[in-house]
Structure 1
Amino acid sequence: MTQRLTARQQNVYDFIVKTMGEYGYPPTRAEIARALGFRSPNAAEEHLRALERKGAIRIIRNTSRGIRLPAAETPDEPSAESPQGLPIIGEVAAGSPILAAEHIDRYCPLPAEYFTPRADYLLRVRGLSMQDAGILEGDLLAVHRTERVRDGQIVVARLEDDVTVKRFRRRGHRVQLLAENADFAPIDIDLRTQALEIEGVGVGVIRGGNGQALS
């Protein structure tokens, strides 16, 4: 930050950091207003613009969650984004890297910075196991590549020969990959005897793979 924040601006900034830490994406203006007791989203917008002027955040125009933290914009790993856009990953062959060229169906002309943390690729969703989380068959899940994951995050996990999208929960050496659909049982993993790789965490969804991102 380049300038000192007022107490109210600090509250807004702290809420943004908290939301991004817990959910992987920034809050909307309405969510900020509701959480901090503002009378309208316009009041939240005024504070956001003040934070931007002071260098605490960066605002991406015309998106409801277009808030970025400059300190968080350098990814842990290089992004797979190319001049063509984000790669869309279809079927993943057993044992091969998820970003192998043969897995890339096409590219989506959406900037990696649309998502927070920035997306490295889009994974086409198969099946309905995550439908109650709003992730449906044929959607594109925006994924940030990382092996660091917290309980409750939606992850792309590789278990033996399968790549799956599930909610992550860990208790000691035991992990559960949880579906968001009562018709699907949890996947139980004992890390002492089974290999589990985290390919990334979900940071957004594009409905139906048609390029319309959900914020």
Structure 2
Amino acid sequence: MTLTDRQQQVLDYLRQQIDTTGLPPTIHELMQAFGWASPRAASKHLEALIAAGAIEMAPHKARTIQLAGARRRPDTLELPLVGRVAAGEPILSDGSVERTVAVDRWMFRPSPDFLLRVEGDSMIDDGILDGDLVAGKATPDAEHGQIVIARLGDAGITIKRLHKRGRTLRLLPRNPHHAPIDPDPTEDFAIEGIYCGLLRRA
């Protein structure tokens, strides 16, 4: 398989995105990554990689990209649904998992590890409502402005938007009737994951 330098760069980018997020990039993301002005430029490079046998994909559907030789990933994920989590317990402790739920893996980005049942209305301005099932990616790290799932002392698990200033962290609600939370460094506090999306019952 002989590729041009740019085709190899595109292939390396596809591999990096799939390894990091569990999902291939969209056409728009490819355009942004390589500075292409039109979707056609991205499609032409993907077509060249298909012709070279480097990738496989359904026509005109970038989200179906598979690296050649890679085991095909199922279209569904079996995610543990986390219920009420006891203070001090990891979010995926045996006692907190109610059941598993099958979800379409293409609904979320990055690929989630669990679902958490929302209790309360502190995030309504971000469209997260009481009773929603929030998808989370298990990680202890998060960036300023991300929505995080955090363990907070006796309060158990909370969902808030993270505000970082230097070494200081603040958890911001998205409802003016709720106050921000300033984690006490002496209490049991940890970021358990980042928000990937949600499911809502009809």
Mark yes or no: TM-score above 0.5. yes
Deviation at 1:128, TM superposition (A): 2.8
TM normalised by structure 2 equals: 0.66
Identity %: 38
Q: Which has more radius of gyration?
A: 2
Check 1:97–1:61 CA distance in 2 against 1; reply closer, same or farther (3 A cut): farther
Counterpart in 2 of 1:154? Answer: 147
Partner of 2:163: 169
Segments of structure 1 that go 5 or more residues without pairing to the other structure are 71-82, 211-215
* Counterpart contact for 1:68–1:116, Cα < 8 Å: no
Q: Where do residues 96-115 of structure 1 align in structure 2 (5 Å cutoff)?
A: 96-110=89-103, 115=108
Decide whether the 8 Å contact of 1:66 with 1:114 is kept in 2: no
Aligned residues: 191
1:147 deviates by 1.2
Residue number in structure 1 paired with 2:191: 198
Distance 1:100 1:172, change over 3 A: same
Alpha-carbon distance in 1 for matches of 2:132, 2:118: 5
Change (3 A) 1:38 1:85: same
Equivalent of residue 141 in structure 1, options 118, 134, 138? 134
Matching residue of 1:187: 181
Structure 2 unaligned runs (5+)? 69-75
Please report how far the alpha carbon of residue 86 of structure 1 lies from its aligned counterpart in structure 2 after TM superposition: 1.0
- Aligned residue identity for 2:199: R
Describe the superposition over 1:59-81 as per-residue Cα deviations: whole angstroms up to 9, x where unpaired. Answer: 699987566899xxxxxxxxxxx
In the TM superposition, residue 85 of structure 1 has moved relative to its aligned partner by: 1.5
TM-score by length of 1: 0.63
Q: CA shift at 1:167, angstroms? A: 1.8
Contact 2:88-2:188 at 8 Å conserved across structures: no
* Contact 1:130–1:166, Cα closer than 8 Å, also in 2: yes
